[in-house]
Structures are given as C-alpha cells and as structure tokens.
Structure 1
Amino acid sequence: MMQNKSMAIAGGMTAPVGKAGKKGGKWLYAVSYQWSLLHLLMGFLLGRAVIFQELSPFAIPFFAVMYFLKKNRLLLVMFSVMAGSAMQSISIASANFLGMAMVLVILSLLEKGRRIELNYAPLVSFLAVLLSNMAVDYIMNQLTWHTLFMNGVAAVLGLILTLIFVQAIPIVTTKRSQQHLQTEEIICLIILLASVMTGTVGWIVQDVSVDNVLARYLVLLFAAVGGGTVGAAVGVVTGLVLSLANIDAVYQISLLAFSGLLAGLLREGRKVMVALGLLIGSAILTIYVGEQREILQSSLETFAAVLFFLITPRFVLDKIATFIPGTEENAFSQQQYLRKVRDVTAGKMEQFAQLFTKLSETFAGPDLAKPDEALQKDYFLSEVTKTTCQRCWKKDQCWSRDFDNTYEALTQMVHAMKQEGGVNLNEMPKEWLRKCVKQDRVLSSMEQEYMRWQTQLHLKQQIAESRRLVAEQLAGVSRVMQNFAQEIQKEGIHLHVQEQQILSALEGVGLSIRNVDIVNLEEGKVDIEITQPSCQGRDECSKIIAPLLTDILGEKITVKNKNCQAFEDGLCHMCLGSAQDFEIDTGVAGAAKGGQLLSGDCFKIMEFGSGKMALAISDGMGNGERAYVESSSTLELLQQLLESGMEETLSIKSVNTVLSLRSPDEIFATVDLALIDQHTGQAKFIKTGSTPSFIKRGKEVISISANNLPIGIIDDIDVDVVSCQLKPGDLLIMMTDGIYEAPRVENKNLWMKRKISELKTNDPQEVADCLLELVIRHHYGEIHDDMTVMVAKIDHYMLPWATIPVPNAPKIDRPRYVS
C-alpha cells in the first residue's frame, strides 16, 4: 500500500519534470532553428568584425548569401548585423545598413524579373560594398584617393568573401546528405570561422583576449580530428585572418601553425596529448618572440583554450571528424552513405523484380478459361439454329412440342462432327430426318459454324500459349533482377590492409609495383588488378607475380588479362584471379555444302566470369546465306541471354519465341548447347533438334541425346536438360546433322561411336579434322550438306610455372562478405 502510494507520488513529481523537459526541448528547437539563433550570432560578430582598422567587408556578403538561404529571417539578420556594427562606429553601421538595403533592392528586382541566381550574389556584394562606403565617405566629407582605394579593396574582399560564404555557411547551418568536404570547402569553412572570430577582437576578460582563446580552441578541435596537416592549415588561415584585424598579432600566424602541427602529430594520444602539443608549441614560440608580460598572457590564453577543449564532449569531435577526409569517422560516414545508396538501388531493383513477378503471375493466371462443355454446346446450337430453325414454319412443332428429341438429335450431330470432322445425311438420326424440312441447310450451317468455332478455339489456344510464354520470360527477368539486387546488397569491404600486405610482399622480392587494387578476395573468386612499370615483354605477370600470389593467397592464381603495351607513363596493367580446376581445349572443323564459302552451320565458344564455358553449334534451315543468318543470329541472341544471367532453359525458350514471332515463314534452327563448369567439371546439355553428342572416355564412348524439336517451329517447346559429370581426359564431340547423317548405314549412332573409339589421337583439333575427313571420304569427296564438328578436351588445369615461396610472407586475412 505504501509502495503504491510512494510510486504514485514519484510519478506525480516526475510528470511536471518531464513536461518541463519537453517544453525546454521545444523552446531550444524554436530558438535554434525557427529563430535562426546561429545565423543571428554570426551576423552580429561579422557586423562587428573590422580589418585594417577601418574596413568591414564581412557583413554585406553575409547578408547577400542569407538572402538565398534564409529569406524569411532577413529582418532579424539585418538587425543582428546592425547591432554588431553599431558597437564599432556610426560610419561602419551606416555603410553596412546602406549596403544591405542595396542588396535587398537589387536582388528583389532581379527576382521580380525572374533573373535571380546565386551567381549574381558576388557581383551584387561588390557593388553594394563599393557604393555604400563611397556614399558614407561622401556624406561625411571624407572622400579622398586613399578612401577610394580602400573602398575598392573592401569591394574586392566583399566579392571574394561572398564566394567563400556561399560554400561555407551551408556547411555550418544545413544538414548535408553526403558528409564529405573537399579541401576547398574546408579552407572556406576555416575562413568563415576566423572571420566570425574577428568580431571578438578587443574583448578581454582578465587580461585574456577572447579572440586568441577561440583561435587556439579552433586549432585544437581540427588538429584533434584531422592531424598535423589540418592543424597547421587551420592555424595558418586563422592566424592570417586575425592578423588583418590586429596588425600587432602577426606572430599569431606562426604560433598557431606550429602549435597546430604539434597538436595534430600527437592526435593518437587522444585529448590530453593534443592539448600537450598545443601547450608545447605555443610556449616555444611565445618565449622566442614575446616579452615576459606577453608570455604570461599567452600562457593564460592557451590554458583557457585547453580547458574548453578538454570539457568539449566527444560527440562534437566525432561530428567534425565526419567532414574531414582521411579520418575513420569520415570513412565510416562515407560507407554509411554508400550503403544507403546501395540499399536504395537494391530496393528499386527488388521493386522492379516484384513488378515483373506480378506481371508474370497475371499472365500465368487463369488461362483463357475453357468454357463449360454444355454451355459451349448450347452456344453452338444457338448459332446454327439462328439462320435455320428460327425462320422455319415448323419451328413450334420441333422445338415447342418436341424439344427434347430435337435437342438430342442435334447434340448427336455435334458429337459426330467433333469425332469425324463432318456429318452426312446417312448418319443423321432417323427421327430428325423425318421431321426436318431444311436438312441440307441445317447441315451446311452446322459445318460452317463448326469451322468458325475451330478457328476461334485455335486462336484462343495460341493466345493462351503466348500468355504462358510471356509469363515465363517475365519470371526469368524477375529472377535475373533479384540476383542482381542480391549482388548489389553484398556489403563492400575496404581491403586497404590486404592491398598493402600484397604490395609489401611483392616489393620485398625486388619487384617495382606501382599499385595494387583488390576487387574481390573471396576464395575461388579472387580478382586483383596490379600496375607496374613495363617489363619490356619479359612476361613478369605470368612468370613471377602470379606464382608469388599463389603462395601468398594459398590458392592457384593465374593471369586473366594483361596489357603490356607501353603507355605514356610506361606502365603495365594486369588482372589476376583464381584459376579454375579444369581447363578446356577446343578444336573445330567444318565445310559448306558443295565446297562453298558460306556454311549454314555456326558455332560459338563462350566464357563467363563465373568460371563457366558454353559450347554451342547451330544449324540453320537449308544452306547458304539465309541459313547462316538464322544460325548466327540464334547464337548471338543466346549468348546475350546467357551473359545476362538468364537460365539456360529459359534462354532457349526466349530464342524460340523470337524466331517463331519474327517471321511468318517456316524458319527454324537447331541448337546444340553444352554448359561446362570449369570448377567442378559438371556439364549440362541442351539439344533442340540437334544430333547426339559423344563423350570419349578412354575406349568407352558415351552418347548424349535428347528428343526436342528445333527452335522456331512451334511457339512452345519442352526443353530437356541432360547432366553429366566430365572427368579429366574426356573428349566431348558435338556435330551437326551433316556429319551425323552422312554415313549410309542403318544404325548411325553405333557407327559413329565405333569410329570415335578407333581414333588414335586425343588432340581436339586433330579429332575434329579426322572426323570431317572420314565423312567426306565416305562420300568419295562429295559434300552433300553443311558439316561442322566441335571437339573439347577436359583436363586438370596445371599452372605454367611452379609456385614461388615468399620468405616471411604475411598472412592474408580474407574478410567475410555479408549480404
């Protein structure tokens, strides 16, 4: 009871606190974003900033840029600028007010004329600064050659500052989708921050200059996240801008630059070491160039900056680091951004894949439904009687008084027509013949309607088949896109460490390597690009680099591609990757009908990046140019579909659909396709109207055949896939019907197997030549048809060079790829 009461009291006490926290958060959001507090503070300090003791070129460029960024807060921005300018002098405040009024008028007129662009802002700032300062000097009777020159300098500075503020202000005040800054953007940002700090010149707290404290604090922040280079650059730029405001502080340039360099070099030691680096750097230069009072004052300023730096939350440094190139935080933010882009792209691909899947389901949905048989029969009879019985004077007698018998008689006639394709009077029901007075007319109408009904049924079947083919192809495209989306979603891994390890190992044996780029380090899918000075044809990539990488990576590496031509820089580029377990050597022989030049047979040997090889032979209908065009276009289309990632069966069906729809003529082509995985030796055979293939394994000859029609004959074909495991030393022999059908024997299969087993050679080209010569000799030198034979020998892949061991070679860690 007491516990419940205490909980209720606690809840009653925490509720007002929570409400107050929410109100405070809303108020802070309103002040920061809705009231643009940061912009107002920047405007106040830039309005107060003065260089060369008389020029104030910061306020008007800031106002011109804010016209494009925060147009709804221009009055507040103008008020903040005027408040800062009024703290300096009436003349500066008057010049800034007049210049901002000019900017407002000019840009408003341009906006009304629809000619306003951000590119006009620098020129408008130049004119506003020049004219406003000249007007104020003229009114105050101070217009001299010196003031004209200084006004020109202020106008030029205003133009330059506008260009700087255009890039720098959005970095501070807006959220960027891609958190990455170029070097120019970083410099512009530092100039902006230093210009804002210039507005604090003259503020002193207990003999400590606020501007010096802020400058060193800024150097500490960037040195801690960017290292020595960034720290020194920030020190130089900040010291230069502040020295323009106070000529006595010129030594601040060297002090801040040297301090920023030391602080950045010690960034690995976290905050304490960075602060120590700034203390050491500032102390050395202060003691060297300053007096005792300046040493004490500089030390106090440095300690104040260090104190502010040490109490700065870590997330502030991490946020700044995301914008500095080369930092881990920036690399992580870039990776997050790229991952987001990758996920969005993959999501779009998935949406398209789902769209194609849905379209496929729509086309493959309920077929053009077969109508109910009774309903179909009634519709057929109604069409027949429309022009016969409906106009007969005995209609009532046949249909009203004796409906059942008449209907049964016509139904029997319909069944007879379906079975035999027609009817005659001798087969008609006797009762119907006795009653019907328009027998010939009824039979003629029934035959006509039956032919029309058969035509409609055939068209419906064709439409249904076409829908099914389109559905299959859409489903295939959907699967290809889904696979592509999965490839996109594979998380890319930066392999800088592994690249450096490989580079060091290769240089350790005396090679001069310029660059190593690892595309993929997954086992069995290694892909590495290497650049080195030209080897002058010594083939170092195959003889030295590949054997070295074989030892380093622990798997067979071979040269996939190389370019040894001498470029302008004399570099040699090579691509190395995982070697397959099997290699395939091919040989082809062929002859055209009658000894002509152009054969209707075509062949292709295709290699895919996944270690697969495709061997294909196509035989076009007939001979000569037309057959060649059909067979070559068939293989070209098949190659494109296979390279796109589409399944082999669907690729064959797609080619068949294209050929059957391309021309109304009877054009067809046979396709004999063998897909061989060079990593496993597994082979898939797809034959559409082609002759059997043969595998010679020692003295044994294995026949591979399938009963499929040639593609292009009918709209739909059933594709049978025959799988077979190939072994080292096997000979795969594929041929067209010109070779297979040529012998004048009854059992051609047995004859061909016997001739293949009698071959004394295992060289693929020699086998192809022998078989072609054998068939031509069988016909006494005559060539009755186009002939093509392709032979492939499967064997273990042997590296051309022995592995070269690398002494003290580093262990390459293969990262895991996450989808």
Structure 2
Amino acid sequence: MAVKWKTKAAQVGEELGQTGRVVLRAPALARGAECLMRFMLGAVLAGGEIFGGYAPFGIGLVACSGSGMDGLCALLGACLGYLTFRGFVEGLRYAAACVLVFSVAFAFYDVRLYQKTWFMPLVAAAMDAVTGFVYLSDARWRPAQVVFFATEILLAGASAYFYRTAFSPWTQKREDSALTTRQTVSLFLLLGTLLVALAGITFWGDLSIGRLAAALLVMAVAHEGGLGLGAATGVAAGLGMDLAAGGAPFYTMAYGFSGLLTGAGWKQGRLFGALTYVVTNAVAVLWTWDAAQRVSSLYEVFIASVLFLLLPQKLTRRLSALLTREGKQDTARRAAAYVRDKLSATAGAFRTVCEGLRSAFPPQGPNDGDVSSVFDRTAERVCQRCALRNTCWEHDYVSTYNALNDALPTMLERGRGEAGDFPGWFASRCLQFPAFLRTANEEVTALLYRRQYQNRVRENRGAVCRQYEALADVLSTAAVELSAELTPDPLREKRLRQHLTALGLEGETAVYYDELGHLRAEVAGDGLEVLREAAELRKLSDLMGLPLRLAEEDTADRVTFLQAEPLMAVAGLAARRKEGQTESGDTGTWFKRSDGSLFVLLCDGMGSGAAAQRESALAVRLLEEFLRAGLEAAAALRTVNSALALRNEETGAFTTVDLLRLDLFTGGGEVCKYGAAPTYVKRSGVVSRITGAALPAGLVDGDGVGPDVTGLALGPGDCVLLLSDGVADASDDQWVRDMLAQFDGVSPKELARDIMAESEKRVGAADDRTAVVIRIGRR
C-alpha cells in the first residue's frame, strides 16, 4: 500500500514539475467525494447515542471502511465526532477503539481471514469491549449498565456488518444496479442510525433534526408503500428515537400508529396522507399528555408534513420503485405464457407454409414426361419433310402407331433403341430410318433425364415440406411444455430456505414438480459452491425425502437439484477397426437428459475408413443435438434421415442408426432402427432379438419413410446389447444369444470384449465391429 501511494505521489510530482499545475480528473474527484462522505458519516455516526451514554455506530463505520483511504477518512471523522460530542474523557475511549479497529484492518488487509464477512464485525465488537471494560469496571458492574454495555458491543459488530453490506453496491462496482433485499435492509439500517445520531441535534429550542427527518421518512414510506411498510417503518424509526432519548417508547407508538393509518389511505393523495399523519400524531401526543408533554413533536411533525408536500414527484417515484416488490412467480408465468403463444403461433405458421407448399406442388410432373411424346417429337424432327409422311401418319396411322408402340417398352428398358426393335416392314419402308432411330434414341434419353429430374424435384419438395412439418412439431412440443402447470412444493421449499440460512447462504429458491411429476429444486445466489459437495448433496436428499442429483446445466450463481432416477445403467463397450484401416466407420455415444431419459446411439457408416467415420459421426452429432433439445426419438430420426438424404445426393453415402431410449424412472423405452443390425434384449433371463426392415438413414426419404420402432419395458438386472453390422452373421447369431443369456451381469465391459473376441474367430475382421452392453440396475 505504501508503494502504491509513493507511486501516485511521484506521478503528481512529475506532472507538477512539467506543467506547473495539478489537474484533478474525474476519478480523482469521485474518490475525493467518497473519502469526504466517509469522513462526514464517521463524524455524524459518532454522535449517535443510545441509552443515554453509549455510542457504538462510529466504531462500526470504521470497521466496515477497511484499511485504505476510506478507512482513514472514516477514522478521522469518527475520532472528531467522538471528541466533539462525547467530550475528551468519554470520547477518548471510543477514539481508542476506532484506532485499534483501523490498526487491525491495516495489519490484516492482505490476509485471507480479512476477507471473511464476519472478521471485521467481530474485531469491532472486540475492540469496543476491550476499551469499555475499564470504564464499566469503575461503575462497579451495575446490572443495568452491564445490559446496556453488552447491547453496545452487539450493535458495534452488527453495524459494521450492515454498513459494509449497505456500501457494497458502490464498492463492488457491479453492473447490476438493482439492490438485493439484504442491501436494501442494510441501507435502511444505515439511514436509521444516522437518524439516531441526528436526533441529538436540536434547533429552535427542543426541535430535533433527527426526529423531523424520521417523521418525514415514515410519512413518505407509508404514502408510497402502503399499510404494512408504513407501520414497520414507523415502529423502526420510533424505536431509534426512543433509544436516542433514553425514555419510554413514546415515539415507537406515535410513529408506528401514524404510519399505520397513513399507509391505510396511501391511494388517497399526498395531502390526505400528510393530514392523516399530523392528526394521528397529535392524538398520540394527547394520549400521553399526563406522562410527558411533548409539544415539540407536534411542531416537528407539522414541519415534516410541509416538507413532504414539497417533495419533488421524481423523488417520491424513485422511493416507490425502491419499495415495490413485483411478484416474481406471476411475472415468470406471464413470460412463459407469452413465449408459449409465440411458439404456438410460429408452429401454426410453419404448418400453413407446409400445407400451402403441398397444395401448390403437383403430385405428378407436367405431360413432358409422357412416353407418347418420344415418337411425336421424333416425327416432328425427322418426318416433317419426308415424301411418305402422309402415307405413314395418315393412311397407315394405325399400323405405324402399333409398330412404334411395340418397340417403345424395349427401348425404355434398355435406355436406347436398336433396328431390331422395329418390325421389318417399317424399317424397310422408312426412307430415313437411321436418322429416325438416332433421333428416337435422343428423345428416349431426354425423356429419362426429364423423369429423373422431376423425381428429384418432387423428392426435394417433399423434403422441404417434411422439414417444415418437423420444425412445427418441435415448436408445438415446446409450447406444450411451457403450458404445462408446474406444481410447487411449499413445505420442501421452506425446508430448503431454512437449510440455506443454517449454512449462512442467501438466494432465491424454488422447489416444484415438472410436467412429468419429478422434483426440481433451484437455488440462485452467490457463494453456492458448498451445495455442490457430495456430503451436502446427501444432506439435501435427506432433507427433501428424495434422492437428488446435480443438473448438468448449472452455472456459477445457480444450482439445480433434480430428483434422482430409481434405475441406473452401466455400459460396456468394445470396438475393432477393419483390418488395414486407421479409422473405424462405427460411431457411438450415450447421454442422459434432465428428464431422466437415457439415450444410447450406435451408427455404422457405409463402408469403412475416414469417409464412413465422417458419415456416422455426423449422424450421431445431429441426433444428439436434437435429442438433447427435447425432441422425441422418432421425430429426431426422421429429421436427420431427411437431412442425410439431401446430403446423399452429393456424397452418395449413408449410415445405419441404432437408437436405444430408456426412461430411468419407469424402465420403459424403445429401440429405433434405420437399417441397423439386430438388437438383443435379455429380460427376466430370456433373450429376444429386435430387427427392422427400414433402409439405412440417408438412403431413401419420403412421407412414408420412418424408422422401425419397438417398445421396451425393462427392470433391474435386464440387459440390452447393440451391435454393428460386422459382429455377427444375421443367419448365424445363436452364439450371441447364448453369451448374453449366460451373462452374470457383473461386468458389461467383459461381455463386450468376449463378444468381440468370439466375433473375430467366427466372422473375422472384414468390417468395423462395435458391441455396446447396457445393464440396468437399481440406484
């Protein structure tokens, strides 16, 4: 720190030597204003006296200000205030406590312990106790003074803690300007102790600046915040004034009663609120007239009401914004409804586009693809100037038509015509037969190209419509999920809040059941790392009465706990590349979604090597993204198949797809296949085989093209075996069934390795081979 100040002093000296002046820049002016504020607050809070002789608030400010320039300015202000308001003897005791607090902060500022939120409050309380012990000993430890002294020690530490929280929005330089509940409460406590300090400053006889400001504050809060806030602020402000006066709780009653009635009519206008407060306070004074005549309170409240009526509208609006607390659950519900409606409308728009395209696209192409056009076009090109044109196409039209019609099927099947395809009489009579045959072959080729092009156009149009339809389904599913009512669990949420309080943590909590009826607990706030520890997770599971696990999508300031699934899956994998290849064309993965769905994917690209690996990896990546996004398995497979089919037009590649989905809450699931090898399921000791007739993904696409889907219902001890094409011969796979039937369930990896070894003996290494074993168990 000394080096830092020496560097700044050297910079100022160099600037002064070069320019002959020192220019104060905006940061320096802001820093000077902060230091001046700390100095003034220290001087004022040092004058805050309670119980007729105790002043802990200046010590608290020094403790919260730290060891830098802020702390030094607060120390100087507090010492000045104590010596001014308390006199030399009494003030020296508090000034000594402030010096000790600052010294500890200066000595420990770079120690890790100093960063703890409780360290400086504890130091403030300890230094106040040490310096006040001698003075209390001279008073012979009378019970009343012991109670007051203990309260002063407690308030010294508490004020240090809350003052530091109140200053945190400015010292931490956070981009978020909204105050948290703790910061708002701390700011009001700082303001309340300032009022206590100002209560001892009087003018015009017995009128107190602190009581006048307190009355104005209660009046403004009651008018803007309503009945509850008005009564609470009145009681708090009155309690502070009574502590400063050291008498009966008159101001607590008067301010609380006035705030209650003023807040009850908070919608009646500012003049009505001011009159209500003045009249109510006057009634309170009259009620206690015999005990103590507090005429000064009438004048203070009257002056406060005039100031209240003169307050700028902009200031009262800012106060109202600070006091207003919007219902977060209602806001979230409205936001979800808005997003749901937008998604539903967008899904409807995509469906309208899809229907419009389907109606606009003709089911068949134009008549340009009709086979009859082959010889019509040929005749136009060859027979137009022939001498026998009228004989062939008018007098002998039927004979000519039959001869050409008989030759056409052979020409289309072969792709071109030959002289032998036509009757001998036709070939001998035709004067330009070689040209006729050559032109007819050109028209046949053109016809086949037109048919191929029209089929490609229809396929592409169908793919576009299916993509729009799939996108509409995705948006509709998301809208349904947003419209699902989430059931809150207030009892468990209360337990969670209590547990966080016991850990010294603060944050927003939510405990509810999702659309599937599974429990979710969310905590948002700072310092939540402890909640991610395994021991703490076990405690929370016991507290909630359900097993919990951490969600994968957690962030630094948000932790989400999900209800753990009763079932678990243990996977074993073994793979071998084709002999002579450096890369395998098989690609697989498994992952679990937040709703408890387990997905296992195995794709086998066409052929082997790098090209096959690219195709299978692309299919796995696309499917994983769609499935993680929440799309249903069959819909995700159809979407990926369409995308791969469009890609196949350029690359000519395709891939098989084997997909296992399993709900770890219920054990239900399904196996989806696009041209994949058989899947083997062992359930209750019985092995069954699941096959499919669908072609590999990307090979063909259309409205009726979809995956083979087979439902499953599994429980603890059951197994699923997924294989790629090269592992076993489809006509001789009994050995696979036998090995799965004899599997004891101990090590899925060992079974996968044994299957791979047996496959090499029986089939060899002529293809890429992969075996994935999934064993279901109870968590």
Which residue does 2:453 correspond to in 1?
Answer: 459
The match for 2:621 among 636, 640, 661 is: 636
CA distance in structure 2 between the aligned counterparts of 1:427 and 1:295, rounded to whole angstroms: 123
Which residue does 1:575 correspond to in 2?
Answer: 560
The match for 1:526 among 500, 512, 519 is: 519
**Residue 788 of structure 1 aligns to which amino acid in structure 2?**
T
Q: CA deviation at 1:234?
A: 14
Q: CA deviation at 1:459?
A: 1.1
Which residue does 2:108 correspond to in 1?
Answer: none
**Residue 358 of structure 2 aligns to which amino acid in structure 1?**
A
Tell me the alpha carbon deviations over residues 125-153 of structure 1, each in whole angstroms, 9 at most, x when there is no partner: xxxxxxxxxxxxxxxxxxxxxxxxxxxxx
Per the alignment, do residues 336 and 215 of structure 1 end up closer, same or farther by CA in structure 2, a change over 3 Å counting?
same
Which residue does 2:692 correspond to in 1?
Answer: 706
**Residue 683 of structure 1 aligns to which amino acid in structure 2?**
G
* Mapped contact 1:691–1:705 kept (Cα < 8 A): yes
**Residue 517 of structure 1 aligns to which amino acid in structure 2?**
T
Q: Does 1:646 align with 2:609?
A: no
**Cα-Cα RMSD:** 5.1
The match for 1:727 among 700, 715, 724 is: 715
Give the match's secondary structure for 2:370: helix
Gaps of 5+ in 1: 1-181, 188-212, 237-254, 309-318, 551-555, 798-819
Q: CA deviation at 1:486?
A: 3.3
Which residue does 1:604 correspond to in 2?
Answer: 589
Which residue does 2:391 correspond to in 1?
Answer: 397
Q: Does 1:764 align with 2:748?
A: yes
Per the alignment, do residues 335 and 605 of structure 1 end up closer, same or farther by CA in structure 2, a change over 3 Å counting?
closer
Per the alignment, do residues 436 and 584 of structure 1 end up closer, same or farther by CA in structure 2, a change over 3 Å counting?
same
The match for 2:734 among 703, 727, 750 is: 750
CA distance in structure 2 between the aligned counterparts of 1:349 and 1:284, rounded to whole angstroms: 60
Q: CA deviation at 1:732?
A: 0.4
* Mapped contact 2:532–2:550 kept (Cα < 8 A): no
Q: Does 1:540 align with 2:525?
A: no
CA distance in structure 1 between the aligned counterparts of 2:225 and 2:408, rounded to whole angstroms: 97
Number of equivalences: 540
CA distance in structure 1 between the aligned counterparts of 2:528 and 2:330, rounded to whole angstroms: 36
**Residue 690 of structure 2 aligns to which amino acid in structure 1?**
I
CA distance in structure 1 between the aligned counterparts of 2:533 and 2:409, rounded to whole angstroms: 85
Q: CA deviation at 1:471?
A: 1.1
Q: CA deviation at 1:657?
A: 3.7
Tell me the alpha carbon deviations over residues 62-104 of structure 1, each in whole angstroms, 9 at most, x when there is no partner: xxxxxxxxxxxxxxxxxxxxxxxxxxxxxxxxxxxxxxxxxxx
Which residue does 2:344 correspond to in 1?
Answer: 350
Per the alignment, do residues 766 and 377 of structure 1 end up closer, same or farther by CA in structure 2, a change over 3 Å counting?
closer
Q: CA deviation at 1:477?
A: 0.8
CA distance in structure 2 between the aligned counterparts of 1:325 and 1:492, rounded to whole angstroms: 30
CA distance in structure 2 between the aligned counterparts of 1:730 and 1:516, rounded to whole angstroms: 42
Which residue does 2:652 correspond to in 1?
Answer: 666
Per the alignment, do residues 469 and 650 of structure 1 end up closer, same or farther by CA in structure 2, a change over 3 Å counting?
farther
Which residue does 1:613 correspond to in 2?
Answer: 598
Tell me the alpha carbon deviations over residues 353-404 of structure 1, each in whole angstroms, 9 at most, x when there is no partner: 2222122223433644436879935533321111111121222333344444
Give the match's secondary structure for 1:357: helix
CA distance in structure 2 between the aligned counterparts of 1:512 and 1:294, rounded to whole angstroms: 44
- Please show how residues 76-475 of structure 1 align to structure 2 within 5 Å: 221-222=223-224, 224-225=226-227, 227-228=229-230, 261-264=256-259, 281-283=281-283, 331=326, 341-365=335-359, 367-370=361-364, 376-418=370-412, 421=415, 423-429=417-423, 432-433=426-427, 435-475=429-469
Give the match's secondary structure for 1:417: helix
CA distance in structure 2 between the aligned counterparts of 1:445 and 1:528, rounded to whole angstroms: 77
Q: CA deviation at 1:540?
A: 2.4
CA distance in structure 2 between the aligned counterparts of 1:433 and 1:563, rounded to whole angstroms: 79
The match for 2:547 among 548, 557, 576 is: 557
Per the alignment, do residues 654 and 214 of structure 1 end up closer, same or farther by CA in structure 2, a change over 3 Å counting?
closer
Give the match's secondary structure for 1:331: coil
* Mapped contact 1:616–1:673 kept (Cα < 8 A): yes
TM-score (norm 1): 0.55
* Mapped contact 2:658–2:722 kept (Cα < 8 A): yes
CA distance in structure 2 between the aligned counterparts of 1:281 and 1:493, rounded to whole angstroms: 47
Tell me the alpha carbon deviations over residues 473-499 of structure 1, each in whole angstroms, 9 at most, x when there is no partner: 211111111222333445678877763
CA distance in structure 2 between the aligned counterparts of 1:643 and 1:380, rounded to whole angstroms: 53
Per the alignment, do residues 416 and 606 of structure 1 end up closer, same or farther by CA in structure 2, a change over 3 Å counting?
same
Per the alignment, do residues 263 and 705 of structure 1 end up closer, same or farther by CA in structure 2, a change over 3 Å counting?
farther
Q: CA deviation at 1:526?
A: 1.5
CA distance in structure 2 between the aligned counterparts of 1:711 and 1:374, rounded to whole angstroms: 32
Q: CA deviation at 1:434?
A: 6.2
Give the match's secondary structure for 1:364: helix
* Mapped contact 1:360–1:474 kept (Cα < 8 A): yes
**Range with bigger deviation, 420-429 or 646-655:** 420-429
Which residue does 1:242 correspond to in 2?
Answer: none
CA distance in structure 2 between the aligned counterparts of 1:402 and 1:575, rounded to whole angstroms: 87
**Residue 395 of structure 1 aligns to which amino acid in structure 2?**
R
Tell me the alpha carbon deviations over residues 687-744 of structure 1, each in whole angstroms, 9 at most, x when there is no partner: 2232111112354211111123222334555422122222331110111123224xxx
* Mapped contact 2:254–2:284 kept (Cα < 8 A): no
CA distance in structure 2 between the aligned counterparts of 1:515 and 1:475, rounded to whole angstroms: 42
Q: Does 1:692 align with 2:675?
A: no
CA distance in structure 2 between the aligned counterparts of 1:446 and 1:401, rounded to whole angstroms: 22
**Residue 699 of structure 2 aligns to which amino acid in structure 1?**
I
Q: CA deviation at 1:320?
A: 9.7
**Range with bigger deviation, 657-666 or 616-625:** 657-666
* Mapped contact 1:228–1:262 kept (Cα < 8 A): no
Per the alignment, do residues 485 and 519 of structure 1 end up closer, same or farther by CA in structure 2, a change over 3 Å counting?
farther
- Please show how residues 792-803 of structure 1 align to structure 2 within 5 Å: 792-797=774-779
Which residue does 1:517 correspond to in 2?
Answer: 509
* Mapped contact 1:380–1:449 kept (Cα < 8 A): yes
Q: CA deviation at 1:641?
A: 1.8
Give the match's secondary structure for 2:726: helix
* Mapped contact 2:605–2:656 kept (Cα < 8 A): yes
* Mapped contact 2:225–2:320 kept (Cα < 8 A): no
Q: CA deviation at 1:638?
A: 1.4
Give the match's secondary structure for 2:497: helix
**Residue 471 of structure 1 aligns to which amino acid in structure 2?**
C
* Mapped contact 1:583–1:678 kept (Cα < 8 A): yes
Gaps of 5+ in 2: 1-182, 189-214, 239-249, 310-315
Per the alignment, do residues 364 and 662 of structure 1 end up closer, same or farther by CA in structure 2, a change over 3 Å counting?
same
* Mapped contact 1:612–1:675 kept (Cα < 8 A): yes
* Mapped contact 1:730–1:793 kept (Cα < 8 A): yes
**Residue 576 of structure 2 aligns to which amino acid in structure 1?**
A
**Residue 732 of structure 1 aligns to which amino acid in structure 2?**
V
**Residue 602 of structure 1 aligns to which amino acid in structure 2?**
T
Per the alignment, do residues 785 and 367 of structure 1 end up closer, same or farther by CA in structure 2, a change over 3 Å counting?
same
**Residue 759 of structure 2 aligns to which amino acid in structure 1?**
V
**Range with bigger deviation, 213-222 or 444-453:** 213-222
Give the match's secondary structure for 2:672: strand
The higher-RCO structure (CA 8 Å, 6+ apart) is 1
Give the match's secondary structure for 1:622: coil
Give the match's secondary structure for 2:770: strand
* Mapped contact 1:216–1:302 kept (Cα < 8 A): no
Give the match's secondary structure for 2:651: coil
